[in-house]
Structure 1
């Protein structure tokens, strides 16, 4: 019988090596070649990919929940003005909690996919590269908005 360890060992043929002088780019690192001439930014490590996805998701989903909470607070302020003040903050806190959970799942799945394919994650737009963490945060925000329509139609 063959050696099981040799089957499970992955060949190191196309692995992306981290540059020696690699420094994790500052957030948000939205590099656009037409405006920025400093160079492109890449994310090589899973923790960095997760962190960028987390921060963008918290910004997007937190903003969505704050705006919705603000509208609900304005509508609710006619009946109970003292309670209405807290609605935007409660909605934002719930959105941030939901963003934390969803971005953790999405961020580590993205990191696993990129590392399994031996790619580095780009934080710039050029030809076929995208602002990957930002785009996936927007996708999560759209899922939140689309998920609210079922609840809205049930309430009305």
Structure 2
């Protein structure tokens, strides 16, 4: 960090109009604005914003998966009878073809897993979601923060404290957009 350039406290968000409105013939740093100069500060700010925006979405999805795994929906009988086409009536098979003798009955006994219950698996799913959310936030903050730092240094610009905030918002929106094709297939 250069002398005279101090690290602002997190989050240090200010009126963005200082940077956008009426900036002709003004110095590159505006009075009342906060700037980041160190790579570690940029990473830290981006990580905090990523954890704030990214982790709750994973928590909601993880809780939904936890709830569905812990308490699976019971199959409900259909309220409408199955569609019957009168042009092609189905004839039942003879009972000789469908009956089973005691010797050829398949054994379909399900063993209960003594070591893990449904709740344990649900907790593992929730823990996996939370671990992946923190890992995604850290990796996203590292990539976005250091790429943005490189771009700002290459252009000799001053990085506003709003940039890590916007990078985190963009990462969350891109993550939500990547879910869209999966949702369309499910629907």
Q: What TM-score, normalized to structure 1?
A: 0.71
Q: Which one has a bigger Cα radius of gyration?
A: 2
Q: Cα deviation per residue 1:22-61 (whole Å; 9 max; x = unaligned)? A: 3211112222379xxx932111122211221122112211
Task: Provide the rounded CA distance (Å) in 1 between the counterparts of 2:47 and 2:120.
Answer: 33
Shift of residue 154 of structure 1? Answer: 4.2
Q: Cα–Cα, structure 1 residues 99 and 33, in superposed 2: closer, same or farther, change >3 Å?
A: closer
Task: Provide the rounded CA distance (Å) in 1 between the counterparts of 2:163 and 2:16.
Answer: 16
Shift of residue 113 of structure 1? Answer: 0.7
Unaligned runs of 5+ in 1: 1-16, 124-130
Aligned position for 1:108 = 146
**Structure 2 residue 96 is the aligned partner of structure 1 residue 58:** no
**Which structure's residues are more often helix, by fraction?**
1
Aligned position for 1:133 = 164
**Structure 2 residue 177 is the aligned partner of structure 1 residue 146:** yes
**Which structure's residues are more often strand, by fraction?**
1
Task: Provide the rounded CA distance (Å) in 1 between the counterparts of 2:136 and 2:43.
Answer: 15
Asked whether the equivalents of residues 63 and 92 of structure 1 are also in contact (C-alpha less than 8 Å), the reply is: no
Shift of residue 75 of structure 1? Answer: 2.1
SS of the residue 1:137 aligns to: helix
Task: Provide the rounded CA distance (Å) in 2 between the counterparts of 1:70 and 1:113.
Answer: 38
Task: Provide the rounded CA distance (Å) in 2 between the counterparts of 1:41 and 1:81.
Answer: 48
Aligned position for 1:3 = none
Aligned position for 1:72 = 65
Unaligned runs of 5+ in 2: 18-30, 73-117
**Structure 2 residue 56 is the aligned partner of structure 1 residue 25:** no
Shift of residue 135 of structure 1? Answer: 0.8
Task: Provide the rounded CA distance (Å) in 1 between the counterparts of 2:179 and 2:16.
Answer: 37
RMSD, aligned CA: 2.5
Task: Provide the rounded CA distance (Å) in 2 between the counterparts of 1:24 and 1:77.
Answer: 46
Aligned residues: 129
